[in-house]
Amino acid sequence: MVFSSCARSMTLGILAAIHDEVDGLVAAMRHDDSRATVRTIGMRDYYAGQLLGQPCVLVLARMGKVAASATTVTLIREFGATQIVFTGLAGGIGAGTNVGDIVIADRTIQHDLDARPFFGRHEVPLLDRAEFPADPALTAELEAAAREFLQLDLPAEVPREVLERFGVAAPALHHGMIASGDQFIGSPAAVTELRERLPGLLAVEMEGAAVAQVCHEYGVPYAVMRTISDRADDSAHVDFAAFLKDVASHYSSGVLRRLLAGRAKADTVQTPVRF
């Protein structure tokens, strides 16, 4: 019997829609790994290397379902990503979601997909499904990292007065449905309609369900984490820009660094290997 570390043969693909959501991680990778590379494919820069000792590929996907889908395919086919995480902002739809909260998807759905009468509303044609479950193990990792970030890192990284300006007092972690569509939801009427049509919906954004469909078709585990930047109401466009600039970048980089640090710690555990 010999002992070996639990080295993971996984490459984590990390996507975001906006520069502020991924720039901190790119800077950290360049600092941690002098051998990190960048390749430009399809007008996107893919940063591949080690982050906290874990193999990762970072990329700015840009906004919308087509952009997210194209980027996810490239991560899987060109870089061999074996897991995918999408991180970014979302509008809060659920009654208990507030600005500064984190929502991690247990499933995703495209709220603007409607191929009736040939297929049911929201159903992806020829796949016989509307909802795509997130990977339970990857989601559990992400939830643990998010919980640690909210409790330990956020108070130290973002000044209290900044959080108070956005009404962030005791940010919570939620787990449930996230819906995606190629439109910015910014009116109470739209929120009401979505709540009635998709009971249990917590947050709305523009990419996650597209990533989920691609991952389903390629057999790759996925997870989606969203920081609530607004309540998807009449002031959403104002709250979104300010929250992104002052707060949200800390969430994306902070939670993912927690996740990767947890993996690095697990890799040091010695386990017996029998031959």
User: Can you tell me the distance from the alpha carbon of 20 to that of 122, in angstroms, rounded to the nearest whole number?
Assistant: 31
Residue 268 counted as domain residue: no
Residue 267 counted as domain residue: no
Got the DSSP string for 6-59? ------EEEEESSHHHHHHHHHHHHHH-TT-EEEEETTEEEEEEEETTEEEEEE
Cβ atoms of 15 and 75 within 8 Å: the answer is yes
Question: Helix 65-79 crosses helix 208-218 at what angle (to 10 degrees)?
Answer: 30
Mind listing the pLDDT tens digit for each residue in 98-148?
Answer: 999 999 999 999 999 999 999 999 999 999 999 999 999 999 999 999 999
Residue 29 counted as domain residue: yes
pLDDT above 80: residue 212: yes
| Residue 275 confidence class, pLDDT cut points 50, 70, 90 | very low
User: Can you tell me the distance from the alpha carbon of 222 to that of 236, in angstroms, rounded to the nearest whole number?
Assistant: 27
**pLDDT of res. 242:** 77
Cβ atoms of 221 and 83 within 8 Å: the answer is yes
Residue 146 counted as domain residue: yes
Nearest to 48 by CA among 16, 66, 25, 73: 25
Residue 34 counted as domain residue: yes
Residue 3 counted as domain residue: no
Residue 272 counted as domain residue: no
Residue 273 counted as domain residue: no
| Residue 246 confidence class, pLDDT cut points 50, 70, 90 | confident
User: Can you tell me the distance from the alpha carbon of 14 to that of 25, in angstroms, rounded to the nearest whole number?
Assistant: 9
**pLDDT of res. 98:** 92
CATH classification at residue 98: 3.40.50.1580
Average pLDDT, the chain: 91
Instruction: List, by residue number, the catalytic residues.
Output: 21, 230
User: Can you tell me the distance from the alpha carbon of 172 to that of 161, in angstroms, rounded to the nearest whole number?
Assistant: 18
Q: Span 146-175, mean pLDDT?
A: 94
Domain that holds residue 101: 8-262
Residue 12: phi and psi, rounded to 5, are -90, 120
Q: How many domains does the chain have?
A: 1
pLDDT above 80: residue 166: yes
Nearest to 89 by CA among 195, 221, 246, 212: 246
Mind listing the pLDDT tens digit for each residue in 106-120?
Answer: 999 999 999 999 999
